[in-house]
Amino acid sequence: MLDDFFIRALLAGIGIAIVAGPLGCFVVWRRMAYFGDTMAHSALLGIAMSLALQWSLLVSVFLISALVSMVLVLLQRRGGLSTDSLLGILSHSTLAIGLVALAFMPWVRVDLLGYLFGDILAVTRADLATIWIGAVAVGGVLVFLWRPLLAGTVNAEIAAAEGQSPERARIAFMLVLAFVIAIAMKIVGILLITALLIIPAATARRFATSPEVMALLAGLFGALASTGGLYLSLGTDTPSGPSIVVVALGFFLLALLPLPDLSRRVAVSPAKGETS
Amino acid sequence: MTNAMTGVAAIAAGPLVEMTGVGVFRSGRWLVQGIDLEIRPGEIITLIGPNGSGKTTTAKTAIGIVRPDAGTVARSDDLVVGYVPQKLSVDRSLPMTVSRMMTLTTKASGVDIASALERVGMAHLRKAQVHDLSGGEFQRALLARAMLRRPNLLVLDEPVQGVDFSGEIALYELISELRESEGCAVLLISHDLHVVMAKTDRVVCLNGHVCCAGSPNSVAASPAYRQLFGARAAEALAVYRHQHDHTHLPDGRIAYPENSGHGHDDGHDHAGCGHDHGEPHAHAGETGASPGNKAAHDHA
């Protein structure tokens, strides 16, 4: 079964989507969309490093993304420039350095489009194993970090005052994000990873009444979008990443239709039980 | 679960937090410096001071949110903090019911959550999204959340912000009730002297440093305090002064006779509603005897 490239791609897409969903919820809640983008863009520098040093692609991309996120943390602490501007600087300069570095290595043939937009043909059995082992690991870390991460998302000071170490959770979250970007790169491509993080989460928001439900729904919507997108890609010979994002957007737009809105249902019963 | 003795037993123990010479340095200046503050079990401490005087910084340093750049902060091993921050808004993208917010940092059973919400009069809103609550409801929910941890130190940073006038009184009543039944220490940050002062054991007046501290009586008398807050604030304290001997009650509890106190201070008699000022404490005599108070009332 795994001999079929398409089955491999489907499984890879689902594996990534079910962790990208919950992770994407935190990206949305913490308003880190641009941050995810920056880390993803820096992946190109990771690719260049991998080619130059003959290192594993996964390790190189993870290291560079993680490095960029830590540089951001340091620059934020230094103050002076807004996070917005810092991200703008890091995002595009790492992308540019990556492209320049690749140009310096004329002997390597790089399928740049494949990296930028994803390539279903490229998913090997080894990739599949990496993705699923990675997904399980990321899922485990998320479950383990859930309370401190969520508490820190709602209010870092409450979390700190009440023993949740939100700063540690935040850094762990960034590393997990870097890792997911490294493993998701092949499927959706560098430029579109953020979409796989954010669009399913945004779709799920509409139907969720608690953070946990939203995280699970985001994983589900992501998996559906990934599957649908890969079929679209197969049928119309379009690049896999954009196809997945287009289908994800379709779900998001569908969710905007005026269905009964569950999340806004305020359970205010007549205040007979009220004491004051 | 509630026990008036808690406070007494706890008072015998060491301090929950002991700050010695604490300073916090940020962006090229000292936010606070040379802060000595001890929080003992069961006592209510009010931090007052003008804007930017370091009240919040001091409280955050006490409970470990902010790391001091000078001095030391020693915290008791069994310290359990319940924190209600000054500002909290939950992003709309994050779905969160009131009852889900209760277990943000602690696990709790459904029964405990229900009873915590019941105590602050929020039981009927447990399934509501926090974004849909009014300011007062949200503060109550935050208070219930902090109390659910069974803290021995409750830290409240301007807890009546965004709450209307009557809600404010109700909220202070509630805080007072909770602290009486739970026996926890309270570190309260406020600029609202009239209401708060009446319930406090110790006042620490900040202005980048501890400008004066001690019983409300001694703070009221302090020239540093009067200089910092001006005559009008001094009036509020003076009004307060004559009725505050309660810190010395042997069982560690405080009866709040602020109704009589605020009765003099027209416009502020709201503060004392519903409290047990029936106990005829020794300061009845002091009320009449203190010329300082009389003067203050005339101004008011």
Q: Would the CB atoms of B96 and A267 count as touching at under 8 Å?
A: no
Nearest to residue A61, comparing CAs of A40, A81, A36, A86?
A: A40
pLDDT digit string, tens, across residues B237-269: 443 343 334 443 444 444 444 444 333 333 333
Per-residue confidence (pLDDT) for residue B259, from 0 to 100: 44
CB B78 within 8 A of CB B117: no
pLDDT digit string, tens, across residues B1-56: 444 444 444 445 688 999 998 999 987 888 888 889 999 988 888 888 888 888 89
CB A196 within 8 A of CB A37: no
Per-residue confidence (pLDDT) for residue A16, from 0 to 100: 92
Run means of pLDDT, 10 residues per run, chain A, 276 residues: 82 93 94 88 90 88 91 83 88 91 82 81 85 93 93 91 88 91 85 91 94 96 94 88 93 84 48 40
The token pair that represents B189 in the structure block: 């940050």
Chain B contact present for A78, CB below 8 A = no
Q: Would the CB atoms of B95 and A159 count as touching at under 8 Å?
A: no
Cα–Cα distance, A145 to B205 (Å, whole number): 39
Tell me the three state secondary structure of residue B220: helix
- Which residues have C-beta within 8 Å of that of residue A231, sequence separation ≥ 6? none
pTM above threshold 0.80: no
Per-residue confidence (pLDDT) for residue B233, from 0 to 100: 57
Q: Would the CB atoms of B100 and A274 count as touching at under 8 Å?
A: no
Chain A contact present for B121, CB below 8 A = yes
Nearest to residue B14, comparing CAs of B185, B154, B150?
A: B185
Smallest CA–CA distance from A273 into chain B, residue: B124
Question: Of B27, B60, B94, which has the smallest distance from its Cβ to A157's Cβ?
Answer: B60
Nearest to residue A162, comparing CAs of B153, B76, B34?
A: B153
Confidence of residue B285 (pLDDT cuts 50, 70, 90): very low
> A263 to chain B: which residues are within 8 Å by CB?
95, 129
Chain A contact present for B214, CB below 8 A = no
Look up residue B103 and give its amino acid.
T
Residue B234 CB-half CA count within 13 A:
18
Per-residue confidence (pLDDT) for residue A136, from 0 to 100: 95
Strand-pairing partners, residue B25, are: B30
Share of chain B above pLDDT 90, in %: 16
Q: Would the CB atoms of A211 and B94 count as touching at under 8 Å?
A: yes
